[in-house]
Structure 1
C-alpha cells in the first residue's frame, strides 16, 4: 500500500503526515517500528515541534529512523517554533534562530524542509520575523516556511514583510471540530454555526494555495478525547462504521477519508503511534467518499445544514 501524493512548493509530499508529538513516550523498539511502518506505507513526512516532549521527541525520532545523509534524502522534516511553554509566545529573531538550531541538533540534520510558526505572537514584529527567515533561507537551514493556528490577517501581516511564501497553515480540524467548514455553510444564518471566529481561513488558504494541515483529526474539543468509539458520538460512530464497510476501510480510515474528500487538498497530521492504525490511515488515501457520504458523516457529528 502506498499513499497518494500532492505538492507543497517544490516538495512532493504524502497526503497524510505522521505527527511525532507522542513519539518521546515510546521505547526504542516501538519508535523504530512506527517510523519503519510509516516509511513502508509511503508516509515520509514527519511533523515535529521544538516543545514536543521538551525537545525529546525530535531526539527519539532521529534515533529511531537512524538519521544519516542517505536517510535524510528520503524524508521530509517539518518542525515548529514560537512557543515558550508557560511563559509566552515568541517570534523574536533571536528565539526563532535559536529554536531552529536546537531542532536541527536534536534531529541530527543540517536543514528542515518546512518551518512553521507555532501560534500567533501578539508582540510579533513582521520585519524581525523576515530577518530570521532570510537568514535561515540563505544559510540553507530551512527550505520552506509556514504558520500554525493563524488567521488570514495574521498571515497577510507576516507576508507583507516576509519574502518567502508562507505555504502551510496547520489548524485544528476534524469531523467534530469543523467550524471553519460550518461557517461557510451557514452564511447569513442566525445560529451559532454562523459565527465566524477565524476569518474564513479555509477559503483564504484555498485562494492563496496554502496547504492546510489538520491537527488532531480524531479529537473532539481541545484534546478532550477521541470521537472514534466515544459514547458521546453514537450516531457519528454508526455512520463511520457504515462508511467503512462500504469502502473497505476502517472507521479510522473513514474519518481521514472525510478530510481528504474536501477540495482544499488537506494534509492531515495524524499522531498515532500504532503501526496498525497507520495502515488504516494510509488506506484512506486510496478512496474518495461520495458527496452524499461526506455530508452524511458531517451531519452525523451533529453539524447542521441551514
Structure 2
C-alpha cells in the first residue's frame, strides 16, 4: 500500500466513532506501563473476553506480549489530559495519575468510566499490529460517561449535547510559524494537530491568545488564514497565522514547512491547509481559504504581517 493510500485508509478508519482507553500492565521488573488506544472491543460474554491491539513499533510491544495480563481503562469524559499523557513520550506516565493494582495485578486508573483487569487469553499476529485477547478476571463501571474520539478529535456526551442545543461549534487553531516551521502538538491518538480549542464565552480572540500562551512561545495573532465549515463534525473552523519570533514550545514541537511533511496530521482538512501554507511560504504569496472541509476558494492577500 502506498503512503497516500495508507493516509486515506487512516482517514476512513477515523470516521468510526470510538471511546478512548488506556491499556496497562506490569512489566517483568514490576514497573507499570501503558498506552492510549481506541482499538478496543468486547468479544464474548461466556467466557468473558475482550480485545485490544498494539502496534509492533510500540516501545511497549515486547513487554505487553511477555506480561501475564493487562487492563483496559475506559476514560471518563473529563480525562482528556490522561489520554494525552499516555499518548505522548514520557519516562514515567504513571507519575501524573492516581492508580492501584487490579485484582489480577494490572494498573487500574482512578476516575475512569469502567475498567477490566484481564489475564492474557490469546495473542494474534495481525500485520503491523498484534491483537491481545484478554479474559476478564475483574471489572467495574462507575456510571460516568466515556470520552469519545472522532476524526482526530475528542468529543464528550456533554459537549455533543451542548452542540445540539447551540448549533455548530466554533473552533480556533493557531498556525504558529517560526523560521519556516510550524508548531504541531500530539492529538492524543499518535498523530499531530495544530494548537486548537473550541471558542468559549470569552470569544475567538481570547481563545487564540490562550492557545499562544499555552504553547509557551513568543507569537502574535496574525491574519485569518482559513475559514471553513467542517460539516461532518458540525464545526466552524477558523485558523489564524501567528508569526513567532522566539521561544521553545512547552507542548509539541516545530515541524518544517514542507509540502509532504504533514502525513502524521490526522485531520484531513487541517493537513491540506498545512500543505497549502508550505507552498505559499515557499513563494511568499499568501491567501485566505473560504469554504468547507472539502471544497472552497482561496482569496489572495498581498503580504503576511
Shorter chain as denominator, the TM-score bin is under 0.3
RCO higher in 1 or 2 (8 Å CA, sep ≥ 6)?
Answer: 1
More helix by share: 1
Task: Tell me which protein shows more strand as a share of its residues.
Answer: 2
TM-score in terms of structure 2 length: 0.26
The normalised TM-score by structure 1 is 0.26
Larger Rg over CA atoms? 2
